[in-house]
Structure 1
Amino acid sequence: MSAIIRAEDDLIWFMTDEDSGKLDEIRADPRATVVFSDGKSARVVFTGNARISSERAMIEALWSPAAEAFYPAGPTDPDIRLIRFSPDLGELWESPGRVVSLFRMAAAVATGTSARGVGSHVKAPL
């Protein structure tokens, strides 16, 4: 699933199908975690609550060429559902990369110091 971030709403949206297993998970427990990664050394983790929507006006507002690739019938496709994620806590995790981190950890072991300062972490309520 691709995230659709609407900062003006303070929400993260996902477009999915009615038969998605994720919807069953949300119905059972709306608490959710969303993770974004640059694929290298940074991750942003949000925790919050998810809700399922089939609101056509919002589906149309979020419609894009990428959505059309998955739903060729267009935004009126009756199987489209939205996951509305409302984050309440955000965390940023950064590290200098695997090779540098391993080097710093090895240096800490060799020198008897701590490698606790290898990366950074910021946590903020939203």
Structure 2
Amino acid sequence: MTNPVKTIGAILDKQSVVFISSVDENGMPNTKAMLAPRKREGIRVIYFHTNTSSMRVQQYRKNPKACLYFCDKRFFKGVMLTGTMEVLEDPASKEMLWQEGDTMYYPEGVTDPDYCVLRFTAEQGRFYSNFSSENFDIG
């Protein structure tokens, strides 16, 4: 892959769903589907919004190890990113991701205590396409 940021970024931007994984108290992986990220900085830093009260947030607070998987079903391509997830509750982070209509999830608005931002920082990646996989570093 000649330009991982461009190739991987194009896949990330076209997906409406991403699978995120955390580690539970027994050291087991837990995976769930999430809405596509609201913001990204290249392919290294990716932001999501979620409920502060969620099981996933509690798991990331105890163990920040995380994995994201983006799947392009149409062309049978996939991108796995491994790294760490931070739970952000500061006003600037919450304002950064807030969109009109988010009161559907967070009735009290941008200051809702049950609204937080997840910031994923990738360390490694793996790209699948054309029946082969390739690891890549993110730096």
TM-score, L = length of structure 2: 0.65
Structure 1 residue aligned with 2:132: 120
* Distance in 1, Cα, partners of 2:44 & 2:103: 25
* Distance in 1, Cα, partners of 2:39 & 2:123: 15
Of 5, 26, 44 in structure 2, the residue corresponding to residue 10 of structure 1 is: 44
Of 124, 128, 138 in structure 2, the residue corresponding to residue 89 of structure 1 is: 124
CA separation of 1:7/1:77 partners in 2, compared to 1, >3 Å: closer, same or farther? same
User: Paired residues, what number?
Assistant: 103
5+ residue gaps, structure 1: 96-118
Q: Which has the higher helix share?
A: 1
Aligned-pair Cα RMSD in Å: 2.0
5+ residue gaps, structure 2: 1-33
The residue correspondences of 1:57-68 to structure 2 (distance < 5 A) are 57-65=92-100, 67-68=102-103
Q: Which has the higher strand share?
A: 2
The reply to whether residue 33 of structure 1 matches residue 33 of structure 2 is: no
Query: What is the identity percentage for the equivalent residue pairs of Structure 1 and Structure 2?
Result: 28
Structure number, greater radius of gyration: 1
Q: After TM superposition, which residue ranges in structure 1, 4 or more long, deviate above 6 angstroms? A: none
